[in-house]
Amino acid sequence: MSAAATAHLADELQAGRVYRREDLARLSNAVDRHLNELVSTGMLKKLAQGLYYAPKHALIVFYSNGEKPPCKSFP
């Protein structure tokens, strides 16, 4: 059940947004445990006590010869 609850909380996160613990507490019955799990997996970064950031993950693509394509911005 914990994995499903953590996944539910993760599904509600928006990349690039900062969250307060109390904002996420309404989505979880064990918010501290779920936040710690999300931090340990890299889905959240802890900025300060009670303050978390959902990072934007970079997409890196390589050609078959190992070279990177020209830089493009992704939404």
Q: By residue range, what is the domain housing residue 65?
A: 1-75
Distance, CA of 7 to CA of 61 (rounded, Å)? 27
Per-residue pLDDT of the chain (75 residues; tens, 9 = 90+): 368 888 888 888 898 999 999 999 999 899 999 999 999 988 899 999 999 999 887 444 555 565 555 554 444
The CATH code of the domain that includes 51 is 1.10.10
pLDDT of residue 75: 46
Do 34 and 12 meet the contact criterion of CB atoms below 8 Å apart? no
Distance, CA of 14 to CA of 1 (rounded, Å)? 23
Number of folded domains that form the chain: 1
Do 24 and 51 meet the contact criterion of CB atoms below 8 Å apart? no
Distance, CA of 50 to CA of 46 (rounded, Å)? 8
